[in-house]
């Protein structure tokens, strides 16, 4: 994919994804910084509906960091079950809430270095929080962004960290915040990992189809 085709591709992606559900972290009723942070902590290996219900139960019982920090891990486990790895996530939620209270005046920090200091928050999650919660230009590279940008031929990388580095060097900053939302939705519904729906893809002519051997 050529850099000069990007604006047209992003216009098509914006149009196509309007009819599909956005990722949980980006839904309008979930965009307070602390809500985004908790949603990100809960969401790994868990469907959005399950994550949303778990977050609702947790916030009904403890809506602020001080109250989550005061809960026992066992109580948090019961509130967030059946999210994947709920015991590990309960431990991280309690520790993160305590760190927010003790070190950040109960506020979600706004730098990647500070976010990475929170238990359970990796680079992908930190970038997502910066972009969604604060509108700070950051590239969140998950499996969809990594797969699709390589499939396009726009980057040639081996892992998400390399993809983030390559995109920071090549992708115009105006696309940084929205690329994750657009490609997560498109990757779940059209540009799927196996047998992508190339026959229904409006950006097919811009795509190098790198590594694609069979399509629908």
Q: Which residues does the annotation mark as catalytic?
A: 124, 142
For the chain, what is the radius of gyration of the CA atoms?
18
| Distance of alpha carbon 90 from alpha carbon 199, whole angstroms | 43
| Distance of alpha carbon 42 from alpha carbon 51, whole angstroms | 6
Does residue 40 contact residue 46 with C-beta atoms inside 8 Å?
Answer: no
Enter the DSSP assignment of 198.
G
Backbone angles phi, psi at 172, to 5 degrees: -55, 140
Does residue 190 contact residue 13 with C-beta atoms inside 8 Å?
Answer: no
- Residue 60 CB neighbours (<10 A): 9
Give the three-class secondary structure for 209.
Answer: coil
CA dihedral sign, ordered 206, 212, 213, 214: negative
What are the Cα distances from residue 26, in Å, to 44, 80, 129, 143, 178?
Answer: 15, 20, 10, 17, 10
**Which residue from 180, 186, 181, 187 is spatially nearest to 27, judged by alpha carbons?**
181
């Amino acid at each position: 994919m050529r850099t000069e085709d990007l604006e047209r591709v992003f216009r098509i992606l914006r149009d196509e994804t309007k009819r599909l559900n956005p990722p949980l972290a980006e839904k309008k009723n979930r965009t307070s910084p602390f809500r985004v942070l908790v949603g990100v902590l809960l969401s790994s290996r868990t469907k959005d509906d399950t994550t949303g219900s778990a977050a609702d139960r947790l916030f009904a019982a403890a809506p602020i960091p001080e109250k989550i920090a005061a809960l026992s891990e066992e109580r948090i486990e019961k509130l967030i079950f059946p999210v994947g790895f709920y015991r590990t996530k309960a431990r991280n939620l309690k520790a993160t809430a305590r760190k927010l209270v003790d070190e950040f005046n109960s506020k979600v920090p706004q730098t990647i270095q500070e976010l990475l200091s929170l238990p359970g928050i990796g680079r992908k999650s930190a970038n997502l929080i910066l972009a969604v919660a604060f509108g700070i230009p950051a590239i969140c590279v998950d499996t969809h962004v990594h797969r699709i940008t390589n499939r396009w031929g726009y980057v040639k990388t081996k892992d998400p960290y390399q993809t983030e580095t390559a995109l920071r060097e090549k992708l115009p900053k105006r696309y940084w915040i929205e690329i994750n939302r657009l490609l997560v939705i498109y990757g779940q519904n059209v540009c799927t990992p196996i047998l992508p729906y190339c026959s229904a893809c409006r950006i097919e002519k811009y795509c190098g189809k790198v590594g694609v051997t069979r399509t629908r």
